[in-house]
Amino acid sequence: MIVDFHTHVFPDTLAQKALTRLVQSLRHQEPNSDPDAPYTDATVSGLTASSKAAGIDLSVVMPVATAPRSSVTLNHFAAQVNRMDRLRSFGSVHPNSPDALDELAHIKELGLGGIKLHPEYQGCYADDANTIAVVRRAAELDLCVLFHAGSDIGLPPPVHGTPAHFVRLRENVPDATIILAHMGAFRMWEEAEGLYSGMGFYVDTSFSLEIHPEQHERFAGMIRAIGADHVLFGTDSPWADQAYTLQYARRFLEKYSFTQQECDAILGGNAAKLLGIHCK
């Protein structure tokens, strides 16, 4: 089973506007960014078609509540996506929302398996008191928490989710299932590799392996340090081509001599366990 654990979609009526705004921000902050992105129209149908063409069995959507207001509408859309073929979705809350903890219970009722938090978009440090409270409540509800980790090429400093922030978060919520996107800390990998061993974090591979080949030795070492059973394949679609990224990940794993069992776990098995899905 192949699972892409990190993708994005928007409601059809908002997708084009959202993509245009995000592309403009990306070009402003990163003039050398991929001129071909985005690779889908960021709609549910676009992601479904992309996943099918790439041979990906399941794509997991990661929405972000970008303002400290109610996330009910966002999470109801996530619940609709969660019921669609080839797709699952997490929900999201803003840590500074007065309704955040109540909304987590609603997310659980909706049948969503976790939440996405984005310290940069949300302007909340990963070890803020409000973020800690959200992650602690998510753990009590058996919800996974996936963070954007490290810098974001569309946003200026300061970085709100550095490896040190996540270590302090872990110290406050030792039992939470925490997934750190972009190989644990986008463009802060040297710091991450010295801190994450033994911390129990999961990492996803999104927007990393194919973007920074000069880091491959470090990435392979990080995977071995945290354990192949704590690594999740992800693409960050629509910002990466799912088919190309999957093939690239397979070549990377082969190059660094990961076993077939480890490859199967990284490319889907670990994700299926977190999502409670039985792999045939």
Residues 6 or more apart whose CB falls under 8 angstroms from that of 9 comprise 15, 42, 43, 44, 46, 47, 61, 81
Q: Which pLDDT does position 20 carry in this prediction?
A: 87
In a domain, 8, yes or no: yes
Q: Which pLDDT does position 30 carry in this prediction?
A: 54
Indicate the range of 16-25, 97-106, 220-229 predicted with least confidence.
16-25
Q: pLDDT for 125-167, tens place per residue? A: 999 999 999 999 999 999 999 999 999 988 889 999 999 999 9
Containing structural domain, residue 127: 3-275
- Phi and psi at residue 188, to the nearest 5°: -130, 35
Q: State how far the Cα of 272 lies from the Cα of 265, in Å rounded to an integer.
A: 9
Residue 209 tokens read as 């392996």
Q: State how far the Cα of 52 lies from the Cα of 37, in Å rounded to an integer.
A: 19
Whether 167 contacts 199, CB under 8 Å: yes
In a domain, 156, yes or no: yes
Q: How many CB atoms lie within 10 A of CB 171?
A: 11
pLDDT at 278 over 90: no
pLDDT at 280 over 80: no
In a domain, 38, yes or no: yes
What b/e string do you get for 146-167 counting C-beta neighbours within 10 Å, with b at 16 or more?
bbbbbbbebbeeebbbbbebbb
Closest to 11 in 3D by CA, of 105, 112, 106, 79: 79
Q: Which pLDDT does position 21 carry in this prediction?
A: 83
Whether 153 contacts 124, CB under 8 Å: no
Indicate the residue type of 120: E
> Peptide bond before 158: cis, by omega within 30 degrees of 0?
yes
Closest to 232 in 3D by CA, of 183, 199, 171: 183
| Residue 24 pLDDT class (50, 70, 90 cuts) | confident
Q: Which pLDDT does position 154 carry in this prediction?
A: 81
Bridge partners of 179, per DSSP, are: 146, 202
Alpha-carbon torsion (90, 127, 65, 236), positive or negative: negative
Q: pLDDT for 177-202, tens place per residue? A: 999 999 999 999 999 998 999 999 99
Residue 272 tokens read as 């299926």
In a domain, 88, yes or no: yes
In a domain, 66, yes or no: yes
Q: pLDDT for 26-73, tens place per residue? A: 655 555 456 567 999 999 999 999 999 999 999 999 999 999 988 899
In a domain, 162, yes or no: yes
In a domain, 25, yes or no: yes
Q: Which pLDDT does position 160 carry in this prediction?
A: 98
Q: How many CB atoms lie within 10 A of CB 41?
A: 18
Which CATH number fits the domain that encloses residue 229?
A: 3.20.20.140
Residue 70 tokens read as 């109610």
Mean pLDDT of the chain: 94
173: left (phi over 0), alpha (psi -120 to 50) or beta: beta
Q: Of 38 and 91, which is predicted with more confidence?
A: 91
In a domain, 280, yes or no: no
DSSP strand pairing (144-147 vs 178-180): parallel
